Amino acid sequence: QGCTQKYIVKNYFYYYLFKFSAALGEEIFYITFLPFTYWNIDHSVSRRMIIVWSIVMYIGQVSKDILKWPRPLSPPVVKLEMRTNAEYGMPSTHAMAATAISFSFFIATTNQYKYPFELGLVAAFVFSTLVCLSRLYTGMHTVLDVIGGALISAVLLVLLYPAWDTIDHLLLTSPFCPLFSIVVPLLLCYNYPKLDYYSPTRGDTTTILGAAAGATVGFWLNNQYAAPAYTSQSFQPGFPLGTSTMVFVLARFLVGILVVLLTRWLTKSVVLGALGYRYKFPICDLHARRRLEVEVPYKFVTYSSVGFTATVIVPLLHELLGLM
């Protein structure tokens, strides 16, 4: 299972299109797009997307390990990815994340910004469809996995939408928000469904819940002690965009993502070093890092630090550098 199958690419357009589309449902996209939205578009939109994304992904990841539906057999399917091959298939969390993020972004912005409703709807549909099709092209999911994931995500969006404003208000104003945001995700991570063999689903779920926990604490702190939640006026969807606006948008993103990546590397190194000292294992020991008592704290602390940095430290740095 650790060896990639040999294959011949006959259509490079589809190959690179769907390899890129598959990346839109992975960490590299989450760690860039969600912070970008917070820094450059709208705080309220970003908060709603993060809330929906974390809930949808937790339900999707847990469902995989409860249902235990296998991924497509290979052969006849040729698998272009190997990292997630150890996970079960149903539902496709790529499909769930793509549907949740694209449509929550569309729903949250359609009443706040002036752009054609049809354009936003088509963009959300195309984005989610490309990610869904990429899971079929790469051989990682069946059609049923993808349809199931998209439908589950759509149902959750419908159920969550009426409570968006209430949840957002509580997360910003409740004195119990920081405690709730840390304790509940940690309990969910430590009580994740157990499997007979190692699967990256628990680690990925801890990453997602940790990032959401850190960001949520950051939202609360900003609203309590910095400035009330606001709609950023630095970027308004629509064209043409001024050159100076684009320069500020790019500068905020580059400074922010550099700080976020540095935070992730530094926190991961420190936490793994401390856990290695506590449980007597070298940091390079992959088997030890997969143990529950190691994987959950190191990933939760690392990514909660990332979420907190993205929502609190980076905006302060932007203000200090005159990028607001």
CB neighbourhood size of 109 (10 A): 19
Residue 157 lies in a domain: yes
SS (H, E, C) the chain: CCCCCCCCCCCHHHHHHHHHHHHCCCHHHHHHHHHHHHHHCCHHHHHHHHHHHHHHHHHHHHHHHHHCCCCCCCCCCCCCCCHHHHCCCCCCHHHHHHHHHHHHHHHHHHCCCCCCHHHHHHHHHHHHHHHHHHHHHCCCCCHHHHHHHHHHHHHHHHHHHHHHHHHHHHHHHCCCHHHHHHHHHHHHHHCCCCCCCCCCHHHHHHHHHHHHHHHHHHHHHHHHHHCCCCCCCCCCCCCCCCHHHHHHHHHHHHHHHHHHHHHHHHHHHHHHHHHHHHHCCCCCCHHHHCCHHHHHHHHHHHHHHHHHHHHHHHHHHHHHCCCC
Residue 135 lies in a domain: yes
Structural contact between residues 157 and 100, judged by C-beta atoms closer than 8 angstroms: yes
Residue 1 forms part of a structural domain: no
Q: Measured between alpha carbons, how far is residue 23 from residues 94, 131, 135, 284 in Å?
A: 9, 8, 10, 26
Name the catalytic one among 43, 94, 169, 318.
94
Please name the residues in contact with 19: beta carbons below 8 A apart, sequence gap of 6 or more. Answer: 80, 134, 138
Active-site residue, 169 included: no
Question: How far is the C-alpha of 187 from the C-alpha of 284, rounded, in Å?
Answer: 27
How many domains would you assign to the chain?
Answer: 1
Please indicate, yes or no, if residue 68 is contained in any of the structural domains. Answer: yes
Q: Does a structural domain hold residue 6? A: no
Specify if 143 maps to a domain. yes
Answer for the pair 193, 66: CB distance below 8 angstroms, yes or no: yes
Predicted pLDDT of residue 229 = 41
How far are the Cα atoms of 8, 149, 160 from residue 155, in angstroms, in the given order? 39, 10, 9
Domain containing 243 equals 12-321
287 among known catalytic residues: no
Residue holding tokens 């049923």? 144
User: What global pTM score does this model have?
Assistant: 0.83
- Residue 315 domain flag: yes
318, 322, 320, 321: which is closest to 43 by C-alpha? 318
What does R_g of the chain's alpha carbons equal in angstroms?
Answer: 20
Q: How far is the C-alpha of 101 from the C-alpha of 49, rounded, in Å? A: 6
Residue 7 domain flag: no
Give, for all 324 residues of the chain, the pLDDT tens digit. 444 567 777 778 888 888 888 888 787 888 888 888 888 888 888 888 899 999 999 998 898 888 888 887 777 777 777 666 667 778 888 889 889 998 999 888 887 777 788 888 899 999 999 888 888 888 888 888 899 999 999 999 999 888 888 888 888 888 998 999 999 999 999 988 887 777 788 888 999 999 999 999 999 998 887 654 444 444 444 444 557 778 888 888 999 999 999 999 999 999 988 988 888 888 887 888 888 888 889 999 999 999 999 999 998 888 888 877
Main-chain phi, psi angles of 67, to 5 degrees: -75, -40
Question: What span, in angstroms and rounded, lies between the C-alpha atoms of 247 and 316?
Answer: 19
Instruction: Please state whether the peptide bond connecting residue 76 to the residue before it is cis, i.e. omega within 30 degrees of 0.
Output: yes
Is 66 in contact with 119 (CB distance < 8 Å)?
Answer: no
pLDDT at position 228: 45
Q: Does 193 sit behind a cis peptide bond, omega within 30 degrees of 0 on the bond before it?
A: no
- Catalytic pick among 141, 169, 287, 318: 141
Q: How far apart are CA 300 and CA 206, in angstroms?
A: 6
Residue 29, both tokens: 């996209």
